[in-house]
Amino acid sequence: MLHHLAGDGDAALTTMHQLLKDNPDGKQAQAGRNIIVLYSIRKGLVDQAKAAVEAYARHQPQDPDDRYRMELLVTDAYLRAKDYASMKTHAQHMLEASKEFSKTNKTEFSRRDEMLLKSGFLLADAYMKTNQKAEAIQTLEDLRRLSIELPSGNLYKLVTFRLFMLDPRLDVAKIFEDRSASAKSLLPEIVASQWLEQTPVKLSDLRGKVVLLDFWAHWCGPCQVTLPNLTRWHEKYKDKGLVILGLTKYYGHGDQRRMTTDEELVYLREFKKRYRLPYGIVVGEKDVNELNYGVNSIPMSFLLDRKGVLRYISPGADEEEIESLGRMVKKLVEE
């Protein structure tokens, strides 16, 4: 650590190699391999960094975040060297570590999505560089499937956009025909501090209904574009089992002024009346619902069928996206 703080990479490497010679196992040894990878990459010693990562994979304990960071350094080094075959191998290890992280770190949503996106995109790029377009597309399709399973609207949105760049003919909704990913786990329950013109419910209480969860905000222009469509769908399908819940939270401002929680709640009630929104509004507890569903941009909607299975994610408000969501609402209501 003293060599590291002094910026003496050579001495840090020498010390870590000595540590590993005498003690190849345990937390200190694995931490030492992290340091070796870092300084080896800085010095252009990619083979040495590669050997340290491989040794890390053979010893215990292992941390998926550490493995990811080391593989990222090696992957990037091979990318800069245009050694795309080696880049592909280490990007695959990155993605494996990212998936393991997502299993063991259930609350670090932003970090999880960042790791999955970075590793998945690098792997897809490596496939493209080695003339394996089908494998690149499959990598991204697998990530889309994982985004549904988690769920993560952010992951779904960004991976879908990248897929469109590779395959402009992509059928966005086709992946939802395979319900295995959605059915693997129950969707997170809604956490609310206030229910506006809506009896408090759990998603489990809505089995037998088609449920549309719409994440929105009163200050969001694109969200306001979607409101007439939500109202229209509510009126058209409410007697056929459609339940729409508008999920929002306290933002501390509205109507170009700062607001207290009480003031914003009054504003939300007035907003609902002004825009004649006939469906229930759910005011969430801080960012809990957004984190649980991987929402970092709005509007974003999640459509559940009568069995509670996630059947569609709508990540925007452009005309084509609204039409696509409308078709899916009609389809599920008629099933």
pLDDT digits (tens, 9 = 90+) for 156-165: 999 999 999 9
Please indicate, yes or no, whether residues 201 and 120 belong to a single structural domain of this protein: no
184-211: per-residue pLDDT in tens? 567 999 999 999 999 999 999 999 999 9
Residue 265 to residue 192: CA distance in whole angstroms: 13
- pLDDT bucket at 182, cuts 50 / 70 / 90: low
Amino acid 184: pLDDT = 59
Please indicate, yes or no, whether residues 128 and 10 belong to a single structural domain of this protein: yes
pLDDT at 23 exceeding the cut of 80: no
Residue 265 belongs to some domain of the structure: yes
Instruction: Work out whether the CA dihedral 268, 270, 272, 274 comes out positive or negative.
Output: negative
Amino acid 179: pLDDT = 67
Cβ atoms of residues 156 and 144 within 8 Å: yes
pLDDT at 12 exceeding the cut of 60: yes
pTM, whole model, 2 decimals? 0.92
Please indicate, yes or no, whether residues 10 and 98 belong to a single structural domain of this protein: yes
264-286: per-residue pLDDT in tens? 999 999 999 999 999 999 999 78
Residue 321 belongs to some domain of the structure: yes
Tell which residue, 162, 166, 332, has the closest CA to residue 244: 332
Residue 106 belongs to some domain of the structure: yes
pLDDT at 117 exceeding the cut of 60: yes
Residue 187 belongs to some domain of the structure: no
Given 158, 182, 206, the domain boundary residue is 182
- pLDDT bucket at 178, cuts 50 / 70 / 90: confident
Question: Considering the chain, what percentage of its residues have pLDDT values greater than 70?
Answer: 98
Residue 212 belongs to some domain of the structure: yes
**Residue whose token pair is 């960071």:** 69
Please indicate, yes or no, whether residues 25 and 153 belong to a single structural domain of this protein: yes
Report the CATH number that the domain containing residue 50 is assigned in CATH.
1.25.40.10
Chain CA centroid to CA 204, Å: 23
Range of the domain at 329: 192-334
